[in-house]
Amino acid sequence: MQTRTIEIELNGKTCSRAVPVTQTLASLLREGFGLSTSISCGEGNCGTCSVLVDGQPVRSCLMLAVQASGRTVTSLEGLADQLPRLQKAFAENHAIQCGYCAPGFMIASAALLCSNSTPSEAEIREAIKGHLCRCSGYSGFVSAILDAAAHE
Amino acid sequence: MLGKSIPRSEDKRLLSGAGRYVSNLQLPNMIHAAVLRSPHASARIKGIHTAEACKLPGVIAVWTFSDLTDVLKPIPQVAPHPSLRPRTPFPLVKDVVHHQGEPVAIVAAETRAICQEALRAIEVSYEVMPVVLDAEAGLSGSAKVHEDLPDNIAAQFGQQTGDVDAALADCDCIITERFTTGRVSSQAMENRAVVARFEPNSSTARLTVWTNTQSPHLTRGLLSQQVGLPRHDIRVIAPDIGGGFGVKNRYYPEHTLIPLLAMRLGRAVKWVESRRESFLATYHGREQIHEATLGLDANGRIRAMRERLLYDQGAYVTLGIVVPHITTISVPGPYRVPNYQVECKCVYTHKAPSVPYRGAGKPQACFVMERMLDAAAAKLRIDPIEIRRRNLLQPEEFPYNTGLKDVDNTPVLYDSGNYPKCLEEVLNLIGQSSFEQEKRDAAATGRKLGIGISCFIEMTGRGPYESALVRVDPGGRVVLSVGISSQGQSHETTLAQVCAAGLEVEPSTVHVQLGDTSIISLSIGVYAARSAVMAGNAVAMATAAIREKAVKAAAAMLRVAPEALKYSGGKVTELAEPHRTLALGEIAGALNSPALVFPFPPDIDPGLEVLRFYKSTKPAYSNGAYAMVVEVDAETGHVKIIRHALVHDCGNLINPAVVETQMTGGIAQGIGGALFEELLYDRDGRVLNASLDSYFLPRATEIPSLIQSHIVTPSPFNPLGVKGVGEGGTIPVAPALASAIENALGIGVQITHVPMTPPRVLLVSRAADHQNNQSEHSLQEATKAT
């Protein structure tokens, strides 16, 4: 299988790795780096595998690892300063149940709060509508993000 | 401790990306597996050519049925019933395919990518055969699903209370309607997965299987039969599970195939389902056809009901007649139906097996009854809320014996509740009294608003038993081991609360272990909203026994009579001399001391550890009332939920926040099922929408926050007084939505199918317009004529 060496800044560290040209970014993050990025639909519909690429949320199952070369990639583990605040708000609002979709929702929340520190409920719903959760009915996410914004 | 909304202990790991899902598992020397599935629904396999696939670098094994004739057996179905003619699948198709997605071959290779390449290199020649597309086609006998069953009937059964014929002959109003509910896929966010490792020289269980099952012990039992190892030579681990919803309670072909690969190849093997496979090969739910007749007196009081159910079984039976039987006994719901007759036929079709999916037959039953009441109200010109008030069971009627028999022949006996109060409170929550004004205001700006209300009950906490093992560590920590697994229901939190309450300690001192057959030998599993009732009460029993033993042991340690002691706050204290206390950990240490002399009377065994089973055949019935206000776009058929409200009674609450999130999530799934979700098939029995871009799940912009409140009527049937909550939310949504849409469009009862997708709403809306135009036209004609 054809491979190419890529260099990415992953969660604040520069990493160089030879990857198969057909490998998705999601697969590289999971299998190559052992990160929490989960795959659910694998075809861009559910948002579970979302990560930040150059600060923007991206479905990593739809991006090839080679396309991430030279760019900054942030998974849940790399949210750094934002992570404790989001974890607290998610936990206090019982936002998640099975938790499988959680990494994607936390990435979406972080991206939203970076661009809009005081989102309305409607703006939050719009920002997370690309993410599927089958357990929660979404209202816990909405209140959690409102809380996280209020405690910034 | 009970009744407090403490945060979930699961969240610490799940919100840091440390979830232990099966697909995250990496074992040394592990290889991957993938399954080749039939693209046809009905076909005979003429030949399979695997030579090219075997030659690919990295491919380790390519197996078809003929490679495993020494071991493969049909997967047993687990709920026998006299009326049943069960047909069950082999883990790999032997010669005839009975539904699209059935496993035809399995590949093992060094990577998942090589597996996929190998699947493409396998050639199968099929002789395509006629298909049975639905239950009615099955009954017509146009084609056969199983060669030896010309009528395609899997089971037929029925029962009656009172005398329906006589009662119907004496009714003022009789309504007959036909209802249909579509076939759905559960679509948990985590796909199914199995990892297996075989260690032939292990001194403990040699076969270890990690899988996202709701019932690790059931899986172990069936796997034991399938691969010929004793149960205790197998360890099944169900770690964090990304949603279950009933379908992950079943035993699937991969539960046999992946362990067999591990046993024969000597390598750990991992299989993770793709999303498309989750549509085709993970079992389905919900598809039913109903013909119901309801008889009432002139005041709208129900006198009799007759119900005929046609159940689309799919190609195989996996759990007897459980789902259709639940539907047949659930149609009367929260209402008094003095005479009731029901008959059911389960029909084999060329589709994936239909199994319990969240609600397990109850949402369909609720849809039928609530629709019939709406139709009766319209015919009798009684307010739809009033007709419900007149028929709801009253608080003083409990325990209420419906006269019906459950599938295990026990009486269907409702334990307790206050059904009318739930209805009245939900009317307040939704703002029913001011709705007419709101509707008029909206109409003035061209918006069509409608309101719908439904009442429901939920049978929860089915038997036969559940287990709990409480062990106190000499350091004072408590380890609670339960047989059940968790798919997101917060069991680690809620069962710790029950344990902490029983022992009067902080929940943080209780560590909960679950989902592993090695920690507790016997358990049934997670389904039918049974965990709080069955496992919860098992935990309560075990803690009561721990307290009793702690007092007895403390009496020996303090050399006083047990009556001179009291248990309080996780300690045993001498009543007369309160400074003399022993903490649980100290007692546990004394009971397990390595000293040569065991300083206790002979009737006390070592250790502060107790295993208890809670056994019950009397379910607890949760109930509630649900209301929604919707806006319907008559031009597009699009339905927008403006607000919705629930009043719910699940007895004593262990953790109110957990209950509320369960209900909110259940209702969200109910909304998906009511508005969008339905598997569509082509004429050859192949699924047309096996993808999340064509099978729509509800998103955050489609479900407003749920307004909800609780009333508490404890169950008298179990010591904790709890009732289950897992499935309830899915039950009342579809009938409330149908009423609300009709109310918005100003039409009578015309919605008879779930889901109510925009094209279907549009059809109903246009038919209503046409009818209105026609009646207006004939009115004009009549006016002209006079």
> Which residue among B229, B254, B280 closes a domain?
B280
pLDDT for residue B784 is more than 70:
no
In tens, the pLDDT along B415-465 reads 999 999 999 999 999 999 999 999 999 999 999 999 999 999 999 999 899
Cβ of residue B275 closer than 8 Å to a chain A Cβ = yes
Q: Do A34 and B669 touch (CB under 8 A)?
A: no
In tens, the pLDDT along B160-207 reads 999 999 999 999 999 999 999 999 999 999 999 999 999 999 999 999
| B497 and B540 part of one domain | yes
Amino acid at A2: Q
Report pLDDT for B783.
62
- Residue A125, φ and ψ in degrees, nearest 5: -60, -40
Please report which confidence band the pLDDT of residue B786 belongs to, taking 50, 70 and 90 as the band edges: low
Cβ of residue B8 closer than 8 Å to a chain A Cβ = yes
CB of B722 closer than 8 Å to CB of B532: yes
Asked if residue B695 is part of any domain, the answer here is yes
Asked if residue B412 is part of any domain, the answer here is no
Mean pLDDT of chain A: 95
CB of B40 closer than 8 Å to CB of B100: yes
Helix (H, G, I), strand (E, B) or coil at B677: coil
In tens, the pLDDT along B347-398 reads 999 999 999 999 999 999 999 999 999 999 999 999 999 999 999 999 999 9
Contact map slice: A 90-129 vs B, CB within 8 A? 90-92, 94, 96-103, 106, 124-126, 128-129
Report pLDDT for B778.
67
Helix (H, G, I), strand (E, B) or coil at B49: strand
pLDDT for residue B768 is more than 80:
no
In tens, the pLDDT along B289-298 reads 999 999 999 9
Q: Do B113 and A103 touch (CB under 8 A)?
A: no
Q: What angle do CA B522, B526, B527 make, to 5 degrees?
A: 130
Q: List, by residue range, all CATH 3.10.20.30 domains of chain A.
A: 3-75
In tens, the pLDDT along B678-695 reads 999 999 999 999 999 999
In tens, the pLDDT along B72-85 reads 999 999 999 999 99
Asked if residue B458 is part of any domain, the answer here is no
Amino acid at B528: A
Task: Enter the tokens of residue B372.
Answer: 């019939």
Residue-number span of the structural domain to which B625 is assigned: 419-452+621-786
In tens, the pLDDT along B501-523 reads 999 999 999 999 999 999 999 99
Report pLDDT for B597.
79
pLDDT for residue B142 is more than 90:
no
Chain B residues with CB inside 8 Å of A48's CB?
189
In tens, the pLDDT along B16-46 reads 999 999 999 999 999 999 999 999 999 999 9
CB of B312 closer than 8 Å to CB of B349: yes
In tens, the pLDDT along B710-754 reads 999 999 999 999 999 989 999 999 999 999 999 999 999 899 999
The secondary structure element, H or E, covering residue B168 is helix B164-169
Distance CA B633, CA B117 (A): 48
Asked if residue B157 is part of any domain, the answer here is yes
pLDDT for residue B779 is more than 90:
no
Q: List, by residue range, all CATH 1.10.150.120 domains of chain A.
A: 79-150
Helix (H, G, I), strand (E, B) or coil at A104: helix
Cβ of residue B26 closer than 8 Å to a chain A Cβ = yes
Work out the minimum CA distance from B638 to partner chain A, whole angstroms: 18
Distance CA B169, CA B164 (A): 8
Report pLDDT for B184.
98
| B259 and B373 part of one domain | no
In this complex, which of B7, B243, B667 lies closest to A91 when CB atoms are compared? B7
Asked if residue B589 is part of any domain, the answer here is yes
pLDDT for residue B222 is more than 90:
yes
- Cβ pairs bridging A and B (under 8 Å): 161
> Which residue among B564, B595, B615 closes a domain?
B615
Q: Do B705 and A96 touch (CB under 8 A)?
A: no
Q: Do A42 and B274 touch (CB under 8 A)?
A: yes
Q: Do A99 and B691 touch (CB under 8 A)?
A: no
Q: Do A45 and B692 touch (CB under 8 A)?
A: yes
Please report which confidence band the pLDDT of residue B311 belongs to, taking 50, 70 and 90 as the band edges: very high
> Which residue among B562, B590, B615 closes a domain?
B615
Please report which confidence band the pLDDT of residue B767 belongs to, taking 50, 70 and 90 as the band edges: confident
Mean pLDDT of chain B: 96
Work out the minimum CA distance from B507 to partner chain A, whole angstroms: 16
A3-75 domain in CATH 3.10.20.30?
Answer: yes
CATH number, position B342: 3.30.365.10
Cβ of residue B240 closer than 8 Å to a chain A Cβ = yes
Amino acid at B84: L
Cβ of residue B785 closer than 8 Å to a chain A Cβ = no
What is the rounded (10 degree) CA torsion for B242, B248, B252, B258?
30
pLDDT average, residue stretch B279-300: 98
Q: In what order do the strands lie in the sheet with B565-568?
A: B565-568, B571-574, B581-583
| B301 and B428 part of one domain | no
Distance CA B694, CA B757 (A): 13
Residues above pLDDT 70, as percent of chain B = 98
In tens, the pLDDT along A35-52 reads 989 999 999 999 999 999
Report pLDDT for B444.
97
pLDDT for residue A102 is more than 90:
yes
Report pLDDT for B594.
87
In this complex, which of B19, B664, B693 lies closest to A137 when CB atoms are compared? B664
Strand ranges in B24-92 using DSSP code E only, listed in sequence order: 31-37, 43-49, 59-64
Lowest mean pLDDT among B357-366, B575-584, B617-626, B775-784: B775-784
| B476 and B598 part of one domain | yes
Report pLDDT for B785.
58
Strand ranges in B99-152 using DSSP code E only, listed in sequence order: 103-109, 123-128
| B249 and B383 part of one domain | no
In this structure, are strands B31-37 and B269-272 parallel, antiparallel, or unpaired? parallel
| B108 and B135 part of one domain | no
CATH number, position B125: 3.90.1170.50
| B214 and B260 part of one domain | yes
Total domains in the fold of chain B: 4
Residues above pLDDT 90, as percent of chain A = 95
Asked if residue B552 is part of any domain, the answer here is yes
Report pLDDT for A76.
94
Cβ of residue A84 closer than 8 Å to a chain B Cβ = no
| B227 and B88 part of one domain | yes
Q: Do B669 and A134 touch (CB under 8 A)?
A: yes
Work out the minimum CA distance from A39 to partner chain B, whole angstroms: 8
Please report which confidence band the pLDDT of residue B782 belongs to, taking 50, 70 and 90 as the band edges: low
In this complex, which of B12, B189, B705 lies closest to A46 when CB atoms are compared? B189
Chain B residues with CB inside 8 Å of A124's CB?
700
Asked if residue B121 is part of any domain, the answer here is yes
Residue in B558, B548, B559, B565 with CA at minimum distance from that of residue B605: B548
pLDDT average, residue stretch B608-619: 95
| B506 and B602 part of one domain | yes
Cβ of residue B703 closer than 8 Å to a chain A Cβ = yes
| B602 and B683 part of one domain | no
Q: Is B771 left (phi over 0), alpha (psi -120 to 50) or beta?
A: alpha
| B319 and B269 part of one domain | no
The correct CATH number of A79-150 out of 1.10.150.120, 1.20.1070.10, 1.20.1540.10, 3.30.470.20 is: 1.10.150.120
| B102 and B201 part of one domain | yes
What is the rounded (10 degree) CA torsion for B728, B732, B737, B738?
140
In this structure, are strands B706-710 and B639-649 parallel, antiparallel, or unpaired? parallel
Report pLDDT for B776.
66
Report pLDDT for B285.
97
B778 or B8, greater pLDDT: B8
CB of B754 closer than 8 Å to CB of B481: no
B16 or B599, greater pLDDT: B16
Chain A residues with CB inside 8 Å of B644's CB?
none
Q: Which of B5, B9, B15, B659 is the best residue to mutate to test the A interface, defined by the most A CB atoms within 10 Å of its own CB?
A: B15
Q: Which of B12, B186, B189, B212 is the best residue to mutate to test the A interface, defined by the most A CB atoms within 10 Å of its own CB?
A: B189
pLDDT average, residue stretch B657-662: 97
Q: At what angle do helices A102-115 and A121-128 cross, to 10 degrees?
A: 130
Q: Do A91 and B665 touch (CB under 8 A)?
A: no
In this structure, are strands B234-237 and B173-181 parallel, antiparallel, or unpaired? unpaired
CB of B253 closer than 8 Å to CB of B91: yes
Cβ of residue B494 closer than 8 Å to a chain A Cβ = no
CB of B233 closer than 8 Å to CB of B187: no
Report pLDDT for B599.
85
Cβ of residue B30 closer than 8 Å to a chain A Cβ = no
Q: Do A135 and B700 touch (CB under 8 A)?
A: no
Report pLDDT for B18.
93
